[in-house]
Amino acid sequence: MCGIYLDYQSAMPVDTRVLEFAERYLTKEFGNPSALHSVGLAAKSAVEEARRKVAELINAPDPSNIIFTGSATEANNLAIRGTAQRNAAKGKKVLASAIEHISVINAMKDLQKGGFQLTLVPVDSAGIIDLAVLENQLSKDTTVTSVMYANSEIGTIEPIKEISQMVHDKGMFLHVDAVAAQGRIPIDVQKDGIDLLTISSNDMYGPQGAGALYVNPKVKLQPTLLGGGQEKGLRPSTENLFAIAGMGEAARLAKLEMDQESDRLRPIRDSLIKEILKIDEAYLTGHTTIRLPHHASFRFSRIEGESILLTMDAMFNIQVSTGSACSSRTLEPSHVLLAIGLKHEQAHGSMVTTLGKYNNQGEISVIAKAVSQTVQRLRALSPL
């Protein structure tokens, strides 16, 4: 790559220090953590070290609260389906914000097929959850409530502390998908009152193939995958040692460097927003201030986000996103942009930029110029 990559939300490079730390587990210390011999015990010890590092990142009371999974999607499934199904006797209502990740929404919809009642709580035009509706909908039979820490498409940060208070007032459990926020802003499961928290390795410069679910020991789960006894029986499969060890190291580095890196990116992000908003009929999506420090998302009237993405890539070698990569090959407008009140044609004009460690202030004028030229060009071609 020699262009400008602005799509850190959809995939991140592995930090070279993480790779240096974890690569030994590919070719040299490659044991199966369940094996009882010394090679297996060394592998087990690497997994437990990673568990401690991940626990520290989110201030989990104990490393044993961390369950490693193969991805954040898996962790979301385990949190939602695993809790709801195990605790179905206590109630068959589930709640989520309307802007959750597709893995949360689809896990909830699967529960609906199994007789659960699902309510999607609306958000305002900046993407903040409607706390009055949430409070009104919560009851003592709401087995799981799931609200994300921050949204990956619009960058808005949710008021997790208030939400957890409301959920706990009913004696129920809160699941938080923190994939967009982790490693960007501090997350403290104890202070925030989070019962189940999803994070992912790659979203903090760790290798793909590892996610984690923090589980408050009060929450009883059942596995969504059946097999061996790994991860307390909650995630069977031989542990992915390289990815787990790498995730641990990535978590350690994130804890150390997150504040500094976010302080570095915030003014770059602000410059980018300032420049882009100079373009005619360009609008910021998401909250103006309560947003992730690396996140700038926009919409442009009369043009398609997909055309913006393709033009920016082909003409300027700048990689942006037009929403969630998970659904980017569909023609449906983003459910997040519809939920903040955009019309279909407005939602289609979306461009999402997410900054990372290889971006710098010097790139902003280049990016702004490229976006401006792209928008002009596409509008000139547009029949609208």
Q: Is 159 in the site for a second copy (CB under 8 A)?
A: no
Beta carbons of 142 and 95 less than 8 angstroms apart:
yes
Alpha carbon separation from 379 to 226, 301, 308 (Å, rounded): 52, 9, 10
Q: How far is the CB of 223 from a second copy (least distance, A)?
A: 9
Directed axis angle between helix 72-86 and helix 102-113, to 10°? 30
Alpha carbon separation from 210 to 27, 62, 180 (Å, rounded): 18, 19, 15
Token representation of residue 165? 């208070």
Beta carbons of 375 and 282 less than 8 angstroms apart:
yes
Directed axis angle between helix 241-276 and helix 38-57, to 10°? 30
Q: Which of residues 189-218 bind a second copy (CB under 8 A)?
A: 202, 207-210
Active-site entry in 326, 361, 366, 381: 326
Question: Closer CB to a second copy, residue 226 or residue 384?
Answer: 226
Q: Is 37 in the site for a second copy (CB under 8 A)?
A: yes
Q: How far is the CB of 159 from a second copy (least distance, A)?
A: 26
323: helix, strand or coil: coil
Q: How far is the CB of 242 from a second copy (least distance, A)?
A: 6
Q: What are phi and psi of 243, to 5 degrees?
A: -70, -40
Question: Closer CB to a second copy, residue 7 or residue 363?
Answer: 7
- Whether 2 is a known active-site residue: answer no
Q: Which of residues 281-320 bind a second copy (CB under 8 A)?
A: 306, 309-310, 312-314, 317, 319-320
Q: Which of residues 242-281 bind a second copy (CB under 8 A)?
A: 242-243
**Of positions 107, 166, 196, 282, contacts a second copy by CB under 8 A:** 107
Q: Is 39 in the site for a second copy (CB under 8 A)?
A: yes
Q: Which of residues 321-360 bind a second copy (CB under 8 A)?
A: 321-322, 324-330
Question: Closer CB to a second copy, residue 55 or residue 318?
Answer: 318
173-177 β-sheet, strand order: 66-69, 211-215, 196-200, 173-177, 142-146, 93-97, 117-121
Q: What are phi and psi of 89, to 5 degrees?
A: -65, -25
Q: Which of residues 73-92 bind a second copy (CB under 8 A)?
A: 73-74, 76-77, 81
**Of positions 49, 64, 102, 188, contacts a second copy by CB under 8 A:** 102
Q: Is 12 in the site for a second copy (CB under 8 A)?
A: yes
Residues designated catalytic: 326
